Structure 1
């Protein structure tokens, strides 16, 4: 009888701690996904679970990006036949922590602006925001559009979520080269 009590105690303590999704542990590849399912690997993210949150470190590979000087600023862009996807580093403080119910920091680290391949500059209203969700052991994201001018002024101190739902707009995935992102 005593060994059953001990076994029950051990099992309950093994499974009573925080449970982390496989999607939020280890090192994963970050890929932009074209409408036809073609993936463009752009980097990796390393997740470090700790307590109730998971911190992460996102590293972009240099190979898929070409360097462009657009609208008087340097950009790293993934070049497509008709559109370029230009990385926009989030300019303000974020914690780089996620939970299964809140992937916002990672969404902020995956901001882009698209531009036509033949256009000279960029238009800040062509912002790309990927709305991320956990699907099993991976994270997927669908494209939302936003006006990047929203980020031209810093948020109030302590406001780590300045991009509200009312400025993110549904996008027609068929009208964009890279309407999705996957982290797996």
Structure 2
């Protein structure tokens, strides 16, 4: 416990209090939250100003992911008792720039799909998209369902946002293992 407090105090001293208060400032932790409120730290994100927007880089926490070879492709999955949550790296061009009014690039970097823990392969229609909203404390992602087959073909040249609102369907949080994503 003392080491954690020392790490937090050092980070605050290095980044300043304003970076911790802003939803897109400094370094943040990405958490997946289950239905009982239990959190799993899956990554850290470092935000840096770039003109009017913020650029970001993600450092994934490999310790919480298991390697799976599903449907002839490698996946990194968080294993749950009934479902596995597998990260789907966005396969096309992305700017990795955001602001509080446009978090789409980050949403594309946080794509997952789920599969039953006893299932052999994956079903691409079990896509998970966390729609992000900025709060005073950070970012909150609400789970939406999507068909990942929509991303099987490259988007038109110059179209960095191939998914539309019609492609995303707000999910019932009670029906999923990890219904929330937090960045704080």
| TM-score, scaled to structure 1 | 0.88
Q: Deviations over 1:27-53 (max 9, x none)?
A: 000010111111010010000023210
Q: Are 1:42 and 2:23 counterparts?
A: no
Which structure is larger by alpha-carbon Rg, 1 or 2?
A: 1
* Poorly superposed stretches of 4+, deviation over 6 Å: none
Show the counterpart of 2:141: 141
Q: Deviations over 1:65-119 (max 9, x none)?
A: 0000101111000001100000000000010000110000000000001000010
Aligned counterparts of 1:54 and 1:165: Cα–Cα separation in 2: 23
Show the counterpart of 2:176: 176
Question: Any gaps of 5 or more consecutive residues in structure 1?
Answer: 1-20
| TM-score, scaled to structure 2 | 0.88
Aligned counterparts of 1:68 and 1:176: Cα–Cα separation in 2: 20
Please give the secondary structure, in 1, of the residue aligned with 2:174: helix
Moved more, 21-30 or 86-95: 21-30
Residue 170 of structure 1, CA deviation: 1.5
Show the counterpart of 2:70: 70
Please give the secondary structure, in 1, of the residue aligned with 2:35: coil
Change (3 A) 1:137 1:50: farther
Query: How many residue pairs get matched?
Result: 164
Aligned counterparts of 2:118 and 2:58: Cα–Cα separation in 1: 30
Alignment of 1:21-100 (within 5 A): 22-100=22-100
Alignment of 1:83-122 (within 5 A): 83-122=83-122
Show the counterpart of 2:7: none
Q: Deviations over 1:119-169 (max 9, x none)?
A: 000000000000000010310100000000000000011101101000101
Aligned counterparts of 1:109 and 1:59: Cα–Cα separation in 2: 11
Q: Are 1:126 and 2:126 counterparts?
A: yes
Question: Any gaps of 5 or more consecutive residues in structure 2?
Answer: 1-20
Show the counterpart of 2:162: 162
Residue 59 of structure 1, CA deviation: 1.1
